Amino acid sequence: MSNNTFLPISRADMEARGWDRPDFVYVSGDAYVDHPSFGVAIISRVLEAAGFRVAILAQPDWRSTDDFRRFGKPRLGFLVTAGNVDSMVAHYSVSRHRRGYDYYSPGGKMGLRPDRASIVYSNCIRQAYGDVPIILGGLEASLRRFAHYDYWEDRMRRSLLIDSRADLLTYGMGENIILRIARLLDKGVPVKKIRDVRGSCYVCSADAPELHYEVAAEFDFEQLKNGGKPYADAFAAQYREQDAISGRAMTERYGDKLLVQNPPMPPLERDELDRVYALPYTRRVHPVYDKDGGVPAIAEVAFSITHNRGCFGACNFCALAFHQGRTVRSRSVESVVAEARLITKMPDFKGYIHDVGGPTANFRESACEKQLTHGVCAAKRCLAPTPCKNLRVDHSEYKHLLEEVEAVEGVKKVFVRSGIRFDYLMLDTDDAFFKKLVRDNVSGQLKVAPEHCSAAVLGLMAKADFSVYRRFREKFFALSRECGKEQYLVPYLMSSHPGSRLSDAVELALYLKREGLNPEQVQDFYPTPGTASTVMFATGIDPFTGKSVYVARDGREKRLQRALLQFNRPENAPLVREALVAAHREDLIGNGKDCLVRAGRLPDGKSVGFAVGQNVGAAPKSQAPKGASAKKSKKTSLSKHLGNRKKAKK
């Protein structure tokens, strides 16, 4: 049955539909939002379209089993997800401090889901119902399916499937995986006998393993639990097998138990994606949350459209390669236009489509023809360190897609906000899309991710050389001038990534000073499960080369690197001085045009950068106020800096 109403969230909702019980109870760490940007919405609608009855148990109280009994025992089982993000990332900042706001909870309220939600929910279900089938899914399960380094405990943890006591774990994009499992359960196949579904993991006897696919590599948690080279080698092997065409099974031993990961499920093709996004989503937050002010996460996506999946950019600090995969698939132009028409009928729509994007907005097809028949290259990247000679570069369909959405009645403007892969864009010999992007689809600021300027750091990030960003930046501003627009770039920058020393942070700070940039957002590297950069952080080893990597693990050094990237902030001045002294760059402390910070005191109170004999208690002469009416200096924004540069060029 399909209808444009929310799925049941209570026993009363369920009984109003005439159900005595659901086929599946879907337990989620997020509030219930029925929008295709939320995994729970997609999976539940896919199951509904296949004829299954699904009830939603959003953010249950895990302190007892009462909430988990709300719908009674489901006919086929429980589906469990921590939500759209890892529960630990949702709860803690990179400094391991408790966050004060949860974008996926009503009113942004914290504390409505537990830490390590997948484990807690699964154990509550076991306590309530014993041997009922439990299937894990979502980002937390997907990225923690193997033994992994846990940043919050600073140690290796076992596979989430082992700790949760669930029956199956699904990884990657789960539509076809969960449909296959649901149909087997519906036929009466015991969950303990479901062993051949691609995209799933299960636990069996290590002495009598149940294997259905060729095994590429076997590992033992006893060797992995201390991290180091065994963990780096295991991750590299797992990474190589994450392709639906060439990937093989992987196993990890836990005493007398064997964790088995089957090869990945093939990605959804265009017609399948179109069907998924045509399902009857209400596109709204459930009204039960209206009293709390709704769910904040909907604001970013309410009037946005996802047109693709996967990313062949494969940055080392990004988990997409381990979750959605490196092969790109996209929806048809007609499907995206149909969704745009639905958006124009929404009551709060003002005529602006906020984004037509995805993991990388300007990817529409696989990187090369070979990927379609042989899979992705196990030991080679498509874009970094240099573009592959077989890479297809074509923005024509994406340009056409944007034009078709712009032509929908009621649409005033279409923006691209989810991020452009600028190195791929610069490879296009046809400027038609670049010109259109700059002319029509930038909402004043375009987000891009150069991340750093140090060649050594960029190499470990698997990002393009910084010279590519320089060329992109010059061309962006040139095209903006051509169409008479004052537009800016918002560069995402990252401090303390593995390989980044204080000297690298100084190099980036000097670039920012030369260009007159004052970034408002700087991200400290956040080691999260499922990324190669996290393996580097945990082991000090590049898993792909086996070479040693410098890692800024000390919290103080991480603060110093971050402060250097925001050297203009007055509150950072003592830290910037400390960083420059530690980097032996005292020449950058003072009043010279290249200096990053004025002379002054370090955090410990010692003075630095003053000339011999200068009064330490007074400001340097060049910094002293010129009169009582002198205005206080104002914090200059990134946009103003760029605007001033543009006026100067004119």
How does pLDDT run across 190-243, given as a tens digit for each residue?
999 999 999 999 999 999 999 999 999 999 999 999 999 999 999 999 999 999
pLDDT interval class at 611 (50, 70, 90)? low
Cβ–Cβ < 8 Å for 495, 505: yes
Number of neighbouring beta carbons within 10 Å of residue 365: 19
Q: How far are the Cα atoms of 226, 539, 609 from residue 547, in angstroms, in the given order?
A: 18, 11, 38
pLDDT interval class at 17 (50, 70, 90)? very high
Average pLDDT for 243-253: 97
The CATH classification number of 444-610+636-650 equals 3.30.750.200
pLDDT interval class at 601 (50, 70, 90)? confident
Cβ–Cβ < 8 Å for 283, 342: yes
597 dihedral zone (left: phi>0; alpha: psi -120 to 50; beta): beta
Q: Say what the pLDDT of residue 74 is.
A: 98
Element (H, E) at 285: strand 284-285
Per DSSP, the three-state class of 511 is helix
The Cα–Cα gap between 25 and 58 comes to: 10
The Cα–Cα gap between 645 and 516 comes to: 8
Query: Average per-residue pLDDT in the chain?
Result: 92
Per DSSP, the three-state class of 366 is coil
Q: Indicate the domain borders of the chain.
A: 11-198, 444-610+636-650
Name 104's Cβ contacts closer than 8 Å, sequence gap at least 6.
29, 30, 31, 83, 84, 85, 90, 295, 296, 297
Paired sense of beta strands 445-451 and 355-357, if any: unpaired
pLDDT tens digit sequence for 515-537: 888 887 789 999 999 999 999 99
pLDDT tens digit sequence for 497-507: 999 999 999 99
- pLDDT at 621 > cutoff 50: no
DSSP summary character for residue 132: -
Q: Say what the pLDDT of residue 321 is.
A: 86
The Cα–Cα gap between 322 and 299 comes to: 27
| DSSP bridge partners of 272 | none
pLDDT interval class at 322 (50, 70, 90)? confident
Nearest to 13 by CA among 200, 3, 403: 3
Q: Say what the pLDDT of residue 327 is.
A: 93
DSSP summary character for residue 328: -
Residues of the chain above pLDDT 70, percent:
93
Q: How far are the Cα atoms of 112, 123, 169, 295, 601 from residue 116, in angstroms, in the given order?
A: 12, 11, 15, 21, 43
- pLDDT at 648 > cutoff 50: no
Burial of 647 (0-12, 13-18, 19+ CB in 10 A): exposed
Q: Which two tokens stand for residue 175?
A: 């539509």
Name 433's Cβ contacts closer than 8 Å, sequence gap at least 6.
362, 395, 396, 398, 399, 425
| DSSP bridge partners of 98 | 92
pLDDT tens digit sequence for 333-349: 999 999 999 999 999 99
Q: Which two tokens stand for residue 341?
A: 């028409």
Q: Spell out the long-range contacts of 180-188 with Cβ–Cβ below 8 A and sequence spacing 24 or more.
A: 181/135, 182/23, 182/24, 182/47, 182/50, 182/52, 182/76, 183/50, 185/76, 185/77, 185/133, 186/23, 186/52, 186/76
- State the chain's maximal CA–CA distance in angstroms: 88
Q: What radius of gyration, in Å, describes the C-alpha atoms of the chain? A: 26
- pLDDT at 421 > cutoff 70: yes
Q: Say what the pLDDT of residue 145 is.
A: 97
Nearest-10 Cα torsion for 225, 227, 228, 229: 70
* CA angle, residues 119, 260, 264, in degrees to nearest 5: 95
The Cα–Cα gap between 419 and 361 comes to: 6
Fold agreement between 11-198 and 444-610+636-650 = no
Query: What sections of 284-385 are H helices per DSSP?
Result: 298-301, 320-323, 333-344, 370-374
Amino acid at 278: A
pLDDT interval class at 162 (50, 70, 90)? very high
Average pLDDT for 2-18: 88
- pLDDT at 641 > cutoff 90: no
Number of neighbouring beta carbons within 10 Å of residue 606: 12
Q: Which two tokens stand for residue 531?
A: 């990324």
Top-tier CATH class for 11-198: alpha beta
pLDDT interval class at 4 (50, 70, 90)? low
The Cα–Cα gap between 276 and 82 comes to: 22
Paired sense of beta strands 168-170 and 155-157, if any: unpaired
| DSSP bridge partners of 157 | 148
3-state SS string for 184-219: HHHCCCCHHHCCCCCCEEEEEECCCCCCCCCEEEEE
Residue 369: phi and psi, rounded to 5, are -65, -35
Name 345's Cβ contacts closer than 8 Å, sequence gap at least 6.
none
- pLDDT at 5 > cutoff 80: yes
Of the listed ranges 1-15, 53-67, 298-312, the one predicted with least confidence = 1-15
Nearest to 315 by CA among 531, 87, 619: 531
Q: Which two tokens stand for residue 68?
A: 């988990």
The Cα–Cα gap between 463 and 315 comes to: 6
pLDDT tens digit sequence for 60-94: 999 999 999 999 999 999 999 999 999 999 999 99
Q: Say what the pLDDT of residue 628 is.
A: 38
Residue 396: phi and psi, rounded to 5, are -65, -40
Residue 178: phi and psi, rounded to 5, are -70, -30
- pLDDT at 615 > cutoff 50: no
